[in-house]
Amino acid sequence: MKPHMEVLIIEDNRINLKLMTYLVQAAGIAVTTAADGERGLELAALRRPDLIICDVCLPGLDGFQVASALKAQPELKDIPLVAVTALAMPGDRERLLQEGFDYYICKPIEPEHFSALISALIVRRKRNG
């Protein structure tokens, strides 16, 4: 098992980024952050995080483009990828899953739900090595 777990959060909204960073760190998990998709992809390759949380509406590359870039890289494609989205229609959610996201969380972020999902995914990741 790795000595610590690390989550990469890609989010351009400062308030959401601050909230998610706080919640992940409160679970004892290290956080790396990026405010746009390009930087997020760089950090994903550099840090090989245990989990990636990605906003859908981002400047430059959007979340869908980030997802397809991550899933096209053999060394990154198995990292669980969670969308954070204000897209609320059922078709939007299906599209997220079809385009490479493994899970999604709807905005506004509900702290208990967010923390429970992230903790469950991290526990599973630890178990699978």
Q: How many helices (H) and strands (E) does the chain have?
A: 5, 5
- Assess 38 for contact with Mn ion (CB under 5 A): no
User: If DSSP states are collapsed to H, E and C, what string results for 35-58?
Assistant: CCHHHHHHHHHHHCCCEEEEECCC
Contact 60, 36 (CB under 8 A): yes
- Residue 73 Cβ, how far from Mn ion at the closest point, in Å? 23
Using the rule CB under 5 A, which residue among 55, 69, 70, 122 binds Mn ion?
A: 55
The one among 27, 57, 105, 109 contacting Mn ion by CB under 5 A: 57
Task: Work out the number of other CB atoms within 10 angstroms of the CB of residue 11.
Answer: 26
- The residue among 37 and 49 lying less far from Mn ion, judged by its C-beta, is 37
Min CB(129)–Mn ion separation in Å: 33
Q: Does 50 engage in binding with Mn ion (CB under 5 A)?
A: no
